[in-house]
Structure 1
Amino acid sequence: MKVLAGDIGGTNSRLALVAVDASGACALSALRSFRNADFPSFEAVLDAYGGAHLAGLPVALAVAGPVGDGRVQLTNRGWDICAATLQARYRCSALRLFNDFEAAVYGVDTLCDDGVRVLQRGAANAAGLRLLVGAGTGFGVAFGAVHDDGTVQACSTEGGHIAFAPRNAVQDELLAFMRARHGRVSVERLLSGAGIEALHAFCRERHDQRPGPAPDAAGVVAAARAGDSAAAAAVALFVELLGQVTGDLALATGARGGVHVAGGIAPQLGELLDAATFCTAFADKGRFAAWMAALPVSLVKDPWLGLKGAALALRREMQACERGEGGG
């Protein structure tokens, strides 16, 4: 089965042809990545990729936002994407939209050893719930429930918009700092590109640094690598918060099937993502600390996870239709 698959985030759109074999293995070709800021609409991205050649192909798109009735408005990009409109315009044989983290859950089984970095070793329960989180333009959360036959049912959430809960005095200060800016403070306000910028502003204030030009998230990470104290503190705090919130979500869902951390930011941190900092915050759950420390946690390094997951989600849906079970 060959699918045109896309992973459409707030910042970038990735597209490729994906050949899925009977075992679920994915072979990618014609891979391209686009900066969304360079395009007025998603249709313009598809045209740049070669929309005229999509006729007759099934298309699966993983999109950064809640999908309903075959359409989505991207949470962090003002694009309204409608499956029916795109299918009619490009004459695709089928076109389906999936939440990006829902799709990524299906992609987890395609990961090989060099596609992950182990943050915490543990024994996964094959029948247990799987958790996937990731920070990028926003903060995504999804989980996968395993059926008796071993197949996975992915469920998307808007867990990135839960409230931030401080766990120490520094984080109490951070909450007050962020509340002055936003009122209610969600975890996405901190665990995102904009979140790294906000953490840097907070750390500059705490380090009594003079106000100056505010770097973007990539600039903060570069400054941290160059030894800037406020930038290094901001990245360390981001890693701590990422571990803390991921742990909260793993505890809330009972993620015995394992935890995967994806998204556009964490894999780019490299050596700045200190596993000990992450795992200490992840497991700091009082009476459940030992239980948390036994969960396997991995960092996803494969940038094509969501794209492959979208292709597999469409294949799963089409197979269900062939069996007369309906989609989803």
Structure 2
Amino acid sequence: MNTNNKFMLYLPAISAESNNNISIISADVRKDATYFAHYITRDKRLVPQIEKTYATVEYASFIDIAQKFITEFQLNHASKFVVAVPGPVISGKSEPLRLPWKLDAEEIKQQTGISQVYLINDLEASAYGLGNDDEKCFQTIHHSENVVPGNIAVLAPGAGLGEAGLYWDGKFMRPFATEGGHSEFSPRTNDEVEFYQFLQKIYGIVTWESVLSTEGLFNIYRYVRDVKQQQQPEWLTREIENNNFTDAIIKGALESRDRICNVTIDTFMLFLAREANNLVLKLKATGGLYLSGEIPVMLQKYLNKDDFYKNFIVSDKMESLLRDIPIYLVRDTKTIIQGAALYAAFSGE
């Protein structure tokens, strides 16, 4: 993983000798699984050593998982410990809605004995993680000959809807977190108003995360099935009962197995283009849009269709700006854990 890349991340401590040959533990905490990795820094690079995955729900606290990883691989000597969490980080603390416990950097420091502990939002970590990737990790969805150096937008629908940016200061890219996925969803057409009303009865406040996430994908499906009266096939009923909805609906659409699958995915892709448009405009992300997260990777075929780009550039006055935005799919599934480690290694002392 070479940090010398086209992103020019702002890593002010990358040349500090004190950050060479140090041991770093990185964790990516999610609702179902918590991922751990151990890295050594060497010649301004992160060198991976160990990776391990744990079932989040089997542990009473994050400390319990952390201590198990540290003990199992004898990592008490680690210099730094960084944790990427799916929620806002305020003053070294986080209470992610999708996790069963709170996280506190000071508590982790006391319990593990590691002197430098960091909490970072998972999408901010993912933005840093782009700096670990080479060209083969990106698939071009739309190429532009008129790219203007500038901010970058990162949009990642998965268990939730992650949104982040990289601010271009004229020399470096500086990643930052947002909670844009929790901004309110706005319908445009009569059908979308009907969809909004369907979700409003369930949630009260309808956010983009209620539409663009694994739960959001199921919400679209329920609307297509229950309001638009599309028949649910028996094979899909079995998949839903086996908690395999996301994989099944996407595979069903890719194979054109049943109309309800294609309608669901087409609707999801329309909304994905719409929110990508929103994020790019709000960040003035002339440097590009990067689609990350588990769902876009599964929908590569749909992203390559003209429909996604055509829906992305729809605007009242900004089509000329949107038309020149390059769009990429991030195929690397480890950007969060690697980016968190890069942040801990080189962003400060």
Q: Calculate the TM-score normalised by the size of structure 1.
A: 0.88
Residue 325 of structure 1 is matched in structure 2 by none
Give the one of 282, 287, 294 matched to 1:264.
294
CA contact (8 A) 2:124 2:165 kept: yes
Distance 2:67 2:303 in 1: 37
Query: CA distance change for structure 1 residues 11 and 116 in 2, over 3 Å: closer, same or farther?
Result: farther
Q: Is the 8 A contact 2:63 2:111 kept in 1?
A: no
Query: 2:85 is matched with which residue?
Result: 63
- Between the aligned partners of 1:35 and 1:125, the Cα distance in structure 2 is 43
Alignment of 1:31 with 2:38, yes or no, is: no
CA distance in 2, matches of 1:88, 1:137: 31
Query: Identity of aligned pairs, percent?
Result: 22
Paired residues in the alignment total: 316
Residue 314 (structure 1) shift: 1.3
Separation in 2 of the partners of 1:220 and 1:35? 25
The within-5 A match list for 1:129-208 is 129-148=151-170, 150-205=171-226, 206-208=228-230
Contact 1:51 / 1:90 at 8 angstroms: preserved in 2?
no
Residue 41 of structure 1 deviates from its aligned partner by 2.7
Secondary structure of 1:61's counterpart equals: strand
Q: Which amino acid in the other structure matches residue 152 of structure 1?
A: M
SS at match of 2:48: strand
**Map 1:1-328 → 2, pairs under 5 A:** 1-23=22-44, 25-51=45-71, 53-57=74-78, 58-122=80-144, 123-126=146-149, 128-148=150-170, 150-205=171-226, 206-209=228-231, 213=237, 215=240, 216-226=245-255, 227-319=257-349
Which residue identity is paired with 2:148?
Answer: N
Q: Which amino acid aligns with 1:138?
A: G
1:218 Cα offset (Å): 2.8
Q: 1:21 to 1:297 in 2, by over 3 A?
A: farther
In structure 2, the CA distance between the partners of 1:21 and 1:246, relative to structure 1 (3 Å rule), is farther
Counterparts of 1:143 and 1:157, CA distance in 2: 8
CA RMSD of aligned residues (A): 2.2
Is the CA contact 2:31–2:57 (under 8 Å) kept in the aligned structure 1? Answer: no
* Contact preservation (8 Å) 1:244, 1:278: no
- Is the contact made by 1:163 and 1:187 (CA closer than 8 Å) also made in structure 2? yes
What's the CA shift for 1:274? 4.4
Query: Structure 2 unaligned runs (5+)?
Result: 1-21
Amino acid at match of 2:69: Y
- Which consecutive unaligned segments of at least 5 residues does structure 1 have? 320-328
Cα deviation 1:5-37 (Å, max 9, x = unaligned): 1222233322112234444x4332312233323
The verdict on how the C-alpha distance between 1:74 and 1:257 changes in structure 2, with shifts beyond 3 A counting, is: same
Q: Which residue of 2 aligns with 1:326?
A: none
After superposition, what is the alpha-carbon deviation per residue over 1:264-315, rounded to whole angstroms, capped at 9, x for unaligned?
2211234244442322221111321121021011111111101111112112
**What secondary structure sits across from 1:78 in the alignment?**
coil
Q: Is the 8 A contact 1:207 1:230 kept in 2?
A: no
For the structure 1 residues 85 and 142, does the alpha-carbon distance in structure 2 shift closer, same or farther, using more than 3 Å as the test?
Answer: same
CA distance in 2, matches of 1:124, 1:186: 31
Whole-Å Cα distance in 2 between the matches of residues 40 and 191 of structure 1?
A: 29
